[in-house]
Amino acid sequence: MLTASRLTVSRILSLVRCFVGVMNTATKFQFVMISLVFATIFASNHCLVFAQTAGEKFKNVKVLTAMPAEQMGKVMNMMSASLGVNCSYCHEGTNFAKENVGHKDDARKMLTMTLGINTTHFEGKPSVSCYTCHRGNTNAASTIPLDSTRDSTIATRALTSHPATQPTVEAILQKHIEALGGREKLESIKTRHIVAQRVEPNGQSEPEELWQTSGGQSRMETKYGNVVIVEVFDGKDTWKSVNDRVIDLKWDEVEQIRREALVAWGLNLESIRSMLEYKQVEQIGDRIAHLIVRKTSGNLDERLYFDVESGLLIRRICSVPTVLGAFEYQVEYNDYQVMSDFLQPTKIRFAVPNVTWTRQVISVEINPDINSTLFQKP
């Protein structure tokens, strides 16, 4: 898929009009027909992605007009997190197109400045973002902080010293498998049912259940009162539903569901060994971790952190490119405990810019009978 060739139909027609303007009538007809035929062939084979831009999909977008529309939610979250604010800072309720609200015009000026800096000084790469200066505050930082309030549990930094002998990916994965209970024990587990609570930052919680198989199938069900949200990877396809109504997923959302299903089963990491590469040693809070990166053919970068001492996976980060830099999806695997004779992270923290939640595991049942219909799309 040529994601770099993100063309809209209107742009293609504009190009066609440029050429036909200098042709005679017969040649014009032939050229237009050939163009339409090739466009149909390319579109049907997914060779080109006719992605809507933000300017085409949303009202009153004045700066980020050329940005792919699918990035809008991510970029808004990144801006909110960078300034430590919520949507009401620039918008009134859900009427996002309304003008003369809050700091919307200020935000446009800042976006114009940021994009201009990247274009002029960084070859168009999103090296500078809102967070570069704001660091979670509405006012850009102009002095160096001297206190120690930085959240060390979130920050990572590369160490200046590294092991004398660089460990292999195989050795790191093997240590992880042994830490979880050993290959023989893991191979004996065919299915798993997990009962948990999804805990929001304000302490509110919702019931959550997961059904998983050693074949990589996974179903997660979260209940918000009468609303039931389901995410499924059936081993091949991925889908999400709200009260049995299937909803559209962005490509990176599909990948997140698939990869979480893969990581949930320790042995399955070996199936992607050829895509893994050892990078370096980093410090995460008070722990030292081996960093393994996953090479992909698309735009999704993934980093896996394994505790040097215990061998356990403690963090996973996926990065998706946007016009304002990488949108990161982070999962932290904490408080490993033996449940049903199996070592399981019981406190799993999920975070994206401006949004966090935690899965608190209550119980784990090993090898229950799981009906295959759980993984079927409604």
Whether 229 and 109 map to the same domain: the answer is: no
Whether 120 and 210 map to the same domain: the answer is: no
- Digit-coded pLDDT (tens) for 195-228: 999 999 899 999 999 999 998 899 999 999 999 9
pLDDT for residue 365:
95
d(CA 137, CA 273): 41
Query: Is 146 a member of any domain?
Result: no
Whether 296 and 344 map to the same domain: the answer is: yes
- Asked if residue 216 lies in contact with residue 202, where contact means CB atoms within 8 angstroms, the answer is no
Amino acid at position 78, single letter:
M
Query: Is 370 a member of any domain?
Result: yes
Using alpha carbons only, what angle is made at residue 292 by residues 289 and 295, rounded to the nearest 5 degrees?
Answer: 160
Query: Is 141 a member of any domain?
Result: no
Whether 73 and 167 map to the same domain: the answer is: no
Give the HSE-up count for residue 271: Cα atoms under 13 Å, Cβ half-sphere.
11
- Give the CA distances from residue 89 to residues 67, 81, 186, 322, 340, in Å, rounded to whole numbers and listed in that order: 22, 12, 49, 22, 48
Residue 145 has pLDDT above 80, yes or no: no
Domain boundary among the residues 119, 134, 149 is at 134
Query: Is 264 a member of any domain?
Result: yes
Total domain count for the chain?
Answer: 3
Whether 117 and 164 map to the same domain: the answer is: no
Whether 40 and 75 map to the same domain: the answer is: no
Query: Is 350 a member of any domain?
Result: yes
- Digit-coded pLDDT (tens) for 269-311: 888 888 899 999 999 988 999 999 987 656 678 999 999 999 9
Whether 292 and 331 map to the same domain: the answer is: yes
Whether 326 and 288 map to the same domain: the answer is: yes
- Asked if residue 277 lies in contact with residue 295, where contact means CB atoms within 8 angstroms, the answer is yes
Whether 290 and 181 map to the same domain: the answer is: yes
Whether 37 and 83 map to the same domain: the answer is: no
Range picked from 190-199, 253-262, 297-306, 317-326 for highest mean pLDDT? 190-199
248: Cβ contacts below 8 Å, ≥ 6 apart: none
Domain boundary among the residues 72, 102, 134 is at 134
Q: Across residues 106-110, what is the average pLDDT? A: 90
pLDDT for residue 8:
43
Query: Is 145 a member of any domain?
Result: no
Residue 233 has pLDDT above 90, yes or no: yes
Query: Is 52 a member of any domain?
Result: no
| Residue 371: CATH number of its domain | 2.50.20.10
Query: Is 243 a member of any domain?
Result: yes
* Residue 295 CB-density burial (10 A; 0-12 exposed, 13-18 middle, 19+ buried): exposed
DSSP-assigned letter for residue 191: E
Q: Can you say whether the dihedral through the CA atoms of 364, 317, 230, 349 is positive or negative?
A: positive
Token couple for 89: 């800072």
pLDDT for residue 157:
59
Domain that holds residue 22: 9-44
pLDDT for residue 48:
42
Whether 165 and 122 map to the same domain: the answer is: no
What is the rounded radius of gyration, in angstroms, for the C-alpha atoms of the chain?
A: 24
Q: How confident is the model at residue 162 (pLDDT cuts 50, 70, 90)?
A: low
Share above pLDDT 90 across residues of the chain, in percent, rounded to a whole number: 44
